[in-house]
Chains A and B, each alone.
Chain A
Amino acid sequence: MSAVPVTNPVAEPVPQGLLRRIASDRLLVLWLVLAVVILLLGLLGPWIAPHDPYETQMRIARHTPGWTSPDGVTYWLGTDVQGRDILSRVLHGLGATLGISLGSVALGSGLGMVLGILAAYYRRLTAPIMRVADVLLSFPAILFGLSLSALMGPGLASLFIALSASCVAGMVRVARSAALVVTKQDYMEAGRSIGFGDFYLITRYLLPNCSSMLLIYATLQLGHTILLASLLSFLGLGPAPPFAELGSMAADGRKYLEIFPHVSTVPTLVIFLVVLVINLLGDALRDAFDPRLRA
């Protein structure tokens, strides 16, 4: 999705309206642009990082941001306890954190979406699916993360599964209520009377008509998931060191908080800014498109 207004006069009416509505909301455009910038930084991080994020050089350890080494190399965000360039680690870590969070939101929310729509479309499935969602909802994500780490050992796999699972239940509820509204529309009935099958009706009629609401909710979930991911990896329940991930980087510098606060503060600040932009984007999208979701 781009923030550029559509100029093509023969474009599809619906996307044009969508883009116009986005473009007319300046704050929404701002958050969208910032979110795209963050995404690009995360994607291109490994290529634009000035140094190797894993190369330790004890002689340049623990320098504050903006420090220039005797060789004339400037470390814009300083170096960490083991002499690694924090800027490079943050760029790599941003990609890792975003990748883990986006992946688990895609998996968890995708599953939740399918289940929620099925629960709305097939009455027989409503009770069992919603019961499972209730059970998932009363199992806090942190406990799930701890249990998985205990069972499988801490690592990327258990982190990913715990994060994905934390997205499912909320999405089931939102998707079901969004889909329920659509199933009652006349065009669904019309489609059915023409003789369209369930699969066709769901994918061509139902899904497109509640997709914006689901996308907004997934955006709101993303902010929450990034926080949860950094929280779990701060506890050490994520990928093992020296893997650059924002939460574990924050935990790394914890012991040197009083002497070298930047080692922890820089990655934490990045987490905060990323989550802030995504939350503001989610809020702006919701206000623009779906007042019903307003908390």
Chain B
Amino acid sequence: MTHFFNRLLTSLSVLAGVIVIGFVLIQVAPADPAAVRAGGSATAEEIAEIREEMGLNKPVVVQLGLYVWRLAHLDLGRSMISSQPVADEISATVGPTVELMLASVIWSIPLAIALGVVAAYRRGRFVDRLVMLVSVCGVSLPVFWVGMLLIQTVGGAGWLPYLGRGGPLWTLEGLAAIALPAITLGSVLIGPVARITRTAVIETLGSDYVRTARAKGAGEARILVRHALRNALLPIVTLVGLQVGNLLGGAVVTEQIFSWPGIGRMAVSAIFSSDFPLAQGAILVTAVGFLIINLVVDLLYASLDPRGSKQ
């Protein structure tokens, strides 16, 4: 419980840091937020009125307080380019990014764990070396290369689409469109997860309880899954938790390559078009999402480790 409390405290500090970054971003924006909010046809008096209303004439500390107050009410300001509310623009992009990340994780983590278990079981044999080779190549591969290769080969041959989102995932078009981006992003996880699984399973395979299970006459498959893998899950979950940041970085690039309408692509384009409120919103929302995922991983960890939950 103390551990979880500490984690929560850390998350809150990160959140505070991100909020300050967001606030500074709004402050350095060359455009007057009041003028943006008022719209193009507003008179100087109307803008002054909105300035007062938004508290832009108050001291910086008060403005920071007002900023936090607005954030708490999900008011992220307005885009300087489309003058639409940032919250609306972002909410349209969160879905596709979550979709892409889930689609990548759903195939890559089970595959990587299976590879790691097989490598550990056949330790030192050909299969093990092959898996380790794939894994070290996997961690050395720039994610954009995987995407570009897939576009060149599968996309170029016209087998699967590689530009944009095809629609909801329950339609054939939607599934076809997410296939290449999900393969690309998932490839980021294969190397590290296969590797940690192998190390962890090798360790548990050498333990006394595995020997006991063998002595009882348990089948090899049961030993591997119920005894070796089950106990190896803790380090694997920890590593997957640490990989979420990598996955996020990979997602930004993958969205860029495949023109996937996600939040990462929006953040990058907002930065290049100097749309400060939009960039601020995208960074804030992504950071909050990241913190939530981390907390979930922590809870998962606690539920997997009976030693931790008893304390």
Chain A residues at the B interface, C-beta cutoff of 8 Å:
131, 134-135, 138-143, 146-147, 149-151, 154, 223, 227-228, 230-231, 234-237, 247, 250-251, 254, 257-258, 261, 264-265, 268-269, 271-272, 275-276, 279-280, 283, 294-295
Contact = CB atoms under 8 A, between A and B. Distances in A.
Contacts of A236: 268, 272
Contacts of A154: 271-272
Nearest to B247: A140
B286 interface: yes
A150 B276 contact: yes
Contact of A279 (B140, B239, B252): B140
B108 interface: no
A147 to B, nearest CB: 5
Interface string B1-40: 0000010001101100110010011001000000000000
Contact of B25 (A151, A230, A268, A280): A151
B245 A141 contact: yes
Contact of A234 (B144, B196, B246): B144
Interface stretch (B61-69, B148-156, B177-185): B148-156
A138 B253 CA distance: 20
A295 B279 CA distance: 36
A146 B142 contact: no
Contact of A146 (B13, B24, B195, B271): B271
B253 A231 contact: yes
Given A150-B271, A151-B28, A295-B196, A142 B252 contact: yes
A254 B287 CA distance: 29
B140 A227 contact: yes
B144 A268 contact: yes
Given A138-B11, A151-B24, A268-B142, A279 B17 contact: no
Contact of B249 (A231, A264, A265): A231
Nearest to B196: A295
19 contacts: A131-B10, A131-B13, A135-B17, A138-B10, A139-B18, A140-B246, A140-B290, A142-B248, A142-B249, A143-B287, A146-B268, A146-B279, A146-B283, A154-B272, A231-B142, A250-B142, A272-B137, A275-B140, A279-B140
The 10 tightest CB contacts between A and B, nearest first, are A140-B245, A142-B249, A276-B140, A275-B140, A150-B279, A268-B145, A134-B10, A135-B13, A150-B271, A147-B21
Q: Which of B145, B195, B283 has the most CB of A within 10 A?
A: B145
A236 B17 CA distance: 25
Contact of B141 (A150, A151, A237, A272): A272
Question: Majority SS of interface residues in chain B?
Answer: helix
B18 to A, nearest CB: 8
B256 interface: yes
A146 B11 contact: no
B25 A150 contact: yes
Given A227-B142, A254-B257, A271-B142, A140 B249 contact: yes
Contacts of B286: 143
B148 A234 contact: no
Interface of B: 6, 10-11, 13-14, 17-18, 21, 24-25, 28, 136-137, 139-145, 148, 151-152, 156, 192, 195-196, 199, 239, 244-246, 248-250, 252-253, 256-257, 264, 267-268, 270-272, 276, 279-280, 282-283, 286-287, 290-291, 294
A143 B17 contact: no
A230 to B, nearest CB: 5
Contacts of B294: 138
Q: Which of A223, A279, A295 has the most CB of B within 10 A?
A: A295
B223 to A, nearest CB: 23
B136 A279 contact: yes
B292 to A, nearest CB: 11
B28 A235 contact: no
Nearest to A251: B144
A138 B291 contact: yes
A149 B271 contact: yes
B153 to A, nearest CB: 10
Contacts of A280: 136
Contact of B143 (A223, A231, A237): A231
A70 B143 CA distance: 38
Given A146-B283, A258-B152, A138 B14 contact: yes
A251 B272 CA distance: 15
Q: Which of B13, B140, B192, B283 has the most CB of A within 10 A?
A: B140
A92 to B, nearest CB: 19
A135 B10 contact: yes
A30 B272 CA distance: 43
Contacts of A131: 10, 13
A272 B142 contact: yes
A138 to B, nearest CB: 5
